[in-house]
Amino acid sequence: VLALTGAAACSSSNDSGGSGSKGGASGKKVRLITGVKSDPFYITMTCAAQTEAKAKGMDFSADGSAQWDVSVQRPLLDSVAASRPDGLLISPVDVSALTPSLKQIQSAGTKVALVDTTVTDNSIGITRISSDNEKGGRVAADALAKLMNEKGSALVISVKPGVSTTDARIKGFTEEMKKYPDIKMLPTLYDNDLPATAASQIQSTLAAHPDLGGVFAGNTNTGTGIATGLKQAGKEGTVKVAAFDAEPDEVASLKAGTLQVLVAQDPAAIGKEAVDQLAAAFEGKTVQKSVGTNMVAITKANMNQPEISKYFYKA
């Protein structure tokens, strides 16, 4: 049984997986709950997980929150828990709020893999698979500082506090920015993963700080919102932007010159690897506690190279 509840259907080329070969993982019921189901990062991750699960003969289905919110994700987790799956892949939207539910499902016997985001409690999850988000933040800082000629005001806009991935990106970014004494960091803003909020935040920041030279966007929706806000203010290309992720709108804005750097992750690798680690657990093989996946910095100059464009996310 393979179903994607509420997420875009995966293309057939992405679903060409294996033959459903028999193994200790065959027939295991595995569920995936992503952060936001319509987010191309998670769609890409989901499709890769589905392909790998199919190759291993698993009973797999996926769902995701309608928005980045604990109160939206928790009922999804509760209903999956009630169905007692053998395995759960989950991107928790908060580092602590979902821990009690995750502890419960884990103690009922479900093997949990944390994909992309994690929780602070280290007893949760047999494996954690993600980018090195702190490093991604540092890469964004160095690229942005260079684009700003190492001077002016800079701003971070991100999702919300308490998200493992984006908090790590902010940490890496702000620490690295300390290397540039002539860049003044403004207080970090949070947009609740809403592009319209990011667009208005960038406009009010521009009004208050006309020397704004650079912005770091913590994820996809933030990046697209900032691009919209800069275009509305007629500041595209003047204010430099480094953004996490590489979904289609961000890639279009990179091409158009509204965004200058994208730190792309490899969500497909996260999804595939998580299924492989769960399969290893089902088969009694060694499971890797933590797996790091690749990132790449994309600019207008390298975006057409196949080894770079392969990182673009699917919508």
Question: Which residues make up the interface to ligand T6T (CB under 6 A)?
Answer: 35, 39, 41-42, 116-117, 165, 219-221, 244-245, 265
Closest distance to ligand T6T from the beta carbon of 32 (Å):
14
DSSP-derived secondary structure for 8-57: PPPPGGGG-------STTTT-EEEEEES-TT-HHHHHHHHHHHHHHHHTT
By C-beta, is 236 or 245 nearer to ligand T6T?
245
Closest distance to ligand T6T from the beta carbon of 50 (Å):
17
Read off the amino acid at residue 80: V
By C-beta, is 101 or 166 nearer to ligand T6T?
166
* Tokens (6 digits) for 77: 């987790």
* Residues facing residue 127 across a β-bridge: 113
By C-beta, is 59 or 121 nearer to ligand T6T?
121
By C-beta, is 264 or 278 nearer to ligand T6T?
264
By C-beta, is 63 or 245 nearer to ligand T6T?
245
Closest distance to ligand T6T from the beta carbon of 38 (Å):
10
Compute the distance between CA of residue 57 and CA of residue 23 in angstroms, rounded to an integer.
8
Compute the distance between CA of residue 189 and CA of residue 218 in angstroms, rounded to an integer.
10
By C-beta, is 41 or 60 nearer to ligand T6T?
41
Closest distance to ligand T6T from the beta carbon of 149 (Å):
28
Compute the distance between CA of residue 260 and CA of residue 243 in angstroms, rounded to an integer.
8
DSSP collapsed to 3 states, 128-151: EEEECHHHHHHHHHHHHHHHCCCC
Report strand pairing: 2-4 vs 59-64: parallel
Closest distance to ligand T6T from the beta carbon of 274 (Å):
14
CA atoms within 13 A on the CB side of 212: 25
Q: What DSSP character marks residue 236?
A: B
Compute the distance between CA of residue 297 and CA of residue 133 in angstroms, rounded to an integer.
13
Contact present, 130 and 165 (Cβ < 8 Å): yes
Closest distance to ligand T6T from the beta carbon of 25 (Å):
26
Determine the residue with CB nearest ligand T6T: 220
Report the candidate in 166, 229, 155 with the shortest Cα–Cα distance to residue 197.
Answer: 229
Closest distance to ligand T6T from the beta carbon of 54 (Å):
23
By C-beta, is 101 or 221 nearer to ligand T6T?
221
Closest distance to ligand T6T from the beta carbon of 91 (Å):
6
By C-beta, is 164 or 260 nearer to ligand T6T?
164
Helix, strand or coil for residue 214?
strand
